[in-house]
Structure 1
Amino acid sequence: MALLLFRVALPPLGRVARRTLSLFSHPSPSDWSKVVSDAEKIVGYPTSFMSLRCLLSDELSHVAMHVRRLAGTNHPLLNTARGFVQDSRNNLQTRGLVVLLMSKAAGPSGASTCFPQQDMVSGIYPSQRSLAEITELIHTAFLVHRGIVDLKDWSSSDGPLKDMQFGNKMAVLSGDFLLANACTGLAQLNNTKVVELISSAIGDLVQGIYCESSSAAEESSVTEDTTMDSWEERTFLSHGALLAKSCKAAMELANHNAEAQGLAFLYGKHMSLAHKINSDLQPFVKGSASDLMTFSLNCAPVVFHRQLVGSERWVHQLQQARSTGEHTDYTQLWKAIKADEGVSSTVELCRYHGNKALSAIKWFPPSDARSALENIASAVTKL
């Protein structure tokens, strides 16, 4: 367990004003909120406040008092903190909710001796509820850690330099505190296999985020070996491994067999990939050239486009978009990407992963929990 109690030295974010932290958002807040709300009723647990006990601890309350100094700056830690209080487009606890739904959908196994039957609440073991909270704490810790700003890209419009430096210290301190609490809770589960699964997910997160940061550091460079296969491998590490391995761990806590654990893993993996692809598609399926938001040159539609048109044509399109000045003309690039088949191919890939998630969950017995998992998988493939 001691190996888990380390500081996750994630690379700092690039240009402050350009970056946004990806939570578990959905482009249709009202529909998504209904799916989540209905699912919460099924598990009998207000997962929208799953991490509240930790977030309202004396230690973090003291940190929050100091974070007020960042008001008026563009430090990403402020946006992350606001998301815990109110954010109509995001639900920070969806990962934990999926773990709880998966636990209830599978139910107790015939060999389950973890807890007496009467200890189950709404068909979920206490250890599985603890695992859901641990999953959320780990995810939240990494969100906070990713709010560290690369100060060499700092400009006076972002805020006073001393406040930005202070914000970085708070991001490191708060993220470390959340991760330490998650590791403590993980040890209390007294299950070696679950500890191994979740600790490996933490390692996957670190590796995936480093890969993402390396790709984003020089978006102007063209990496010829960037393919959708490599993009999916990287995205699974940074966005899917935690949920997939948490779903598998939930099955382990109820002593389900390897087949059930594998199906739970596949659901978490494919649902996470479908969600990330959905998020990457939003500027291309919802936006127009007139109100276009900046998109990453390493997002799924762009990677697919680069793979389809080839490096030579992509370099030419990128040079044209930058011929007018120092900054990239995203409107011009958006039009070029929309004109080819990269977007439609990415839509099909999103649906593919959504269908794979649905295929995995259908092997569990019919129930309200399984239906809720199906609704979540379907919701992330709606465009």
Structure 2
Amino acid sequence: MSSELRNASKTLLKLSKKRIICTLNHRRCHSSFPTAVETAEKLVQPRSKATFNDPFSIVSHEMSNLAKNIASLIGSGHPTLNRVSSYYFEAEGKNVRPLIVLLLSKALSKIPIEERNRIPIDKSDVSDQPQYKGTPQATSIAGNSVDDSISPLQILHGINPRVILDPLSKPMDKLPQFDSVNGILPKQRRLAEIVEMIHTASLLHDDVIDLSDSRRGRPTGNIAFTNKMAVLAGDFLLGRASVAIARLRNPEVIELLSTTIANLVEGEFMQLKNTVLSNNESTISNDGETKTIPSATGKVPIQDDGFSVDVDHQTNVDAAFEYYLHKTYLKTASLMSKSSRAAAVLSGSQDVVIENCYEFGRNLGLCFQIVDDMLDYTSSDLAIGKPSQADLKLGLATAPILFAWKEKPELGELIGRKFKNPGDIEVARSAVDEFQGVEKTRLMAEGYCLKALENLRVLPESDARSALELLTNSVLTRTK
């Protein structure tokens, strides 16, 4: 089995490189990524009856209970708030982020316990499971159940302690005890739920900001419930997630997850600015409206269109790509990378494993969003469950148009004014087709995919690691 898995990884790498070379030479290549995934899947199928056809099956029990467990975390005493905050959980989503956390947690459990001693593994997590008997279990700050409150309940109850409306201020349903066969710790399961709550809160806010009208095949929260309710529900989810984060009782994990919330906001502000070309900080432009920021002295600031004409074109393009990738990290990859690192921290793994888990999430997150930006140019509204070609309409300069701009400098003026003039969008779309912007974007995504696969090799060979490899490759071939 060990040699077969090694051969599978080599096969994936060879076929991936072959595809890249073929694309670069603009030739038709018969070895597609789906073929690579199919070939690898056949090679890594375990001989036991417990085979898997997709990554979900490895953690199907945990994933099937995800929405139910989240519902127990976000309930409030207000029926309308309950309805709005649970709205996106009702529709079938990708659930990629919690899936990554759970698969990674299962893969980390295959590391021998003596090699997972960076922090003490919580007694409350593993109880008396055989594989943990006899191991040193020092008292840890992370030592109490994720279901137990830190503050006294009478304080969390609020004004009227006889009316308990807040599920986080009372004992909740206990998480299942640690399963020695499954290997996922209760704190890692709660981590997966927290990650999905943070992500969903960001969707509620993003749809208001972007004036979106559909997501996951139905009206967005702002359309169904108004902008105010959608924003408040997103805030509520972040508040609930913050309490659950604190109850993980691990300072490093609390720090990691808290910064992801800040990163989401930072990334959104970068997107509002759009590109590094827009260096004018005296005005704010959004949704077709430009406002002058009042100064402390009351003087009117000097206006600047923000377009850097004194810098050579290549430097402008390089700076724009750097800006785009940093924004992409903050908006998408930060949550994937820091939650992956948090899963490794909770497992007690050593620093080299923790670093590779972080890099895996970072590379996969960048690949995921770059593919998403590519699909905006190639997929229909029905296929992706939201309006297609929305980025240009929002004035966003993503990878496809940046690659076209590299070859056609005059596109810089369109990018600088966020494609707001009549005909700008049509010119930009035509340039993307002319200079193979979509194809070059796919190559960029494939590069990050290969890096993510390399990061996974620090983990022991297992079904969970194989499932993570299949998941990583499927990000490239997804159509929605």
Decide: shared fold, TM above 0.5: yes
Q: Which residue of 1 aligns with 2:413?
A: 315
Picking from 103, 106, 109, the partner of 2:108 is: 106
Q: Report the alpha carbon displacement of residue 55 of structure 1 after superposing the two structures with TM.
A: 3.8
Indicate yes or no: 2:180 matched with 1:85: no
Pair 1:274-2:367 in alignment = yes
Distance 1:337 1:58, change over 3 A: closer
Other-structure match for 1:70: none
Q: Distance in 2 between matches of 1:316 and 1:197?
A: 38
Q: Is 2:63 the counterpart of 1:47? A: yes
Q: Report the RMSD for the aligned CA atoms in angstroms.
A: 3.6
Rounded to whole Å, the distance in 2 between the matches of 1:143 and 1:306 is 29
Higher relative contact order (Cα pairs below 8 Å, separated by 6+ residues): 1
Q: Does 2:405 align with 1:306?
A: yes
Query: How far apart, CA to CA, are the structure 1 residues paired with 2:223 and 2:232?
Result: 14
Taking the aligned partners of 1:374 and 1:85, their CA distance within structure 2 comes to 28
Choose the corresponding residue for 2:249, options 178, 181, 190. 190
Matches within 5 A, 1:137-148: 137-148=197-208
**Which residue of structure 1 aligns with residue 282 of structure 2?**
none
**Partner residue in 2 for 1:173:** 232
1:218 Cα deviation after fit: 5.8
Residues 113 and 228 from structure 1, CA distance in 2 versus in 1: closer, same or farther, beyond 3 angstroms?
A: same
Partner of 2:280: none
Tell me the distance in 2 between the aligned counterparts of 1:273 and 1:233: 9
Matched, 1:348 2:408: no
Q: How does 1:94-173 map to 2 (within 5 A)?
A: 94-107=96-109, 109-110=113-114, 111=117, 113-114=121-122, 115-116=125-126, 118=129, 119-121=177-179, 122-148=182-208, 167-173=226-232
Q: How does 1:171-250 map to 2 (within 5 A)?
A: 171-215=230-274, 217=285, 225=316, 226-250=319-343
State the Cα distance separating 1:299 from its structure 2 match: 1.9
Structure 1 segment 3-18 matched on structure 2, within 5 A? none
d(CA) in 1 for partners of 2:477, 2:229 = 37
8 Å Cα contact 2:404/2:431 also seen in 1: no
Distance 1:37 1:135 in 2: 25
CA 1:141–1:48: 2 relative to 1, 3 Å: farther
Matches of 1:239 and 1:150, distance apart in 2: 16
- Distance across 2 between alignment mates of 1:329 and 1:100: 44
CA distance change for structure 1 residues 174 and 60 in 2, over 3 Å: closer, same or farther? Answer: farther
> Which blocks of at least 5 consecutive residues in structure 1 are unaligned?
1-27, 68-76, 154-162
Cα offset, 1:281, TM superposition: 1.1
CA displacement, residues 38-68 of structure 1 (integer Å, 9 cap, x when unaligned): 322212434265243444754287126876x
Q: Determine the C-alpha separation between the residues in 1 that align with 2:358 and 2:467.
A: 17
What is the TM-score with the length of structure 2 in the denominator?
A: 0.58
Cα distance, 1:300 vs. partner?
A: 1.6
Are the equivalent residues in 1 in contact too, given 2:329–2:366 (CA < 8 A)? yes
Moved more, 292-301 or 262-271: 292-301
Kept after mapping to 1: 8 A contact 2:98/2:193: yes
1:5 aligned partner: none
CA pair 200-149 structure 1, distance change in 2 beyond 3 A? closer
State yes or no: 1:62 paired with 2:79.
yes
Alpha-carbon spacing, 1:343–1:60, altered in 2? closer, same or farther (3 Å): farther
Partner Cα distance (2:286, 2:462) in 1: 48
In the alignment, the residues of structure 1 paired with residue 262 and residue 470 of structure 2 have an alpha-carbon distance, to the nearest angstrom, of 30
Q: 1:317 to 1:136 in 2, by over 3 A?
A: closer
The reply on whether 1:371 has 2:466 as its aligned counterpart is yes
- Per the TM alignment, residue 329 of structure 1 is displaced from its structure 2 partner at its CA by 5.8
User: Is the 2:377–2:389 Cα contact (8 Å) retained in structure 1?
Assistant: no
User: What is the aligned partner in structure 1 of residue 9 from structure 2?
Assistant: none
Which of 434, 454, 466 does residue 339 from structure 1 map onto? 434
d(CA) in 1 for partners of 2:269 and 2:434? 32
Q: Which runs of 5+ in 2 are unaligned?
A: 1-33, 42-51, 130-176, 213-221, 276-284, 289-304, 309-315, 381-386
Q: Secondary structure at the match of 1:147?
A: helix
CA distance in 1, matches of 2:248, 2:82: 32
| Greater Rg over alpha carbons, structure | 2
Q: Give 1 or 2: higher helix fraction.
A: 1
Residues 294 and 330 in structure 1, CA contact (< 8 A), matched pair in contact too: no
What is the DSSP-based 3-state SS (H/G/I as helix, E as strand, rest coil) of the residue aligned with 2:477? coil
2:151 corresponding residue in structure 1: none
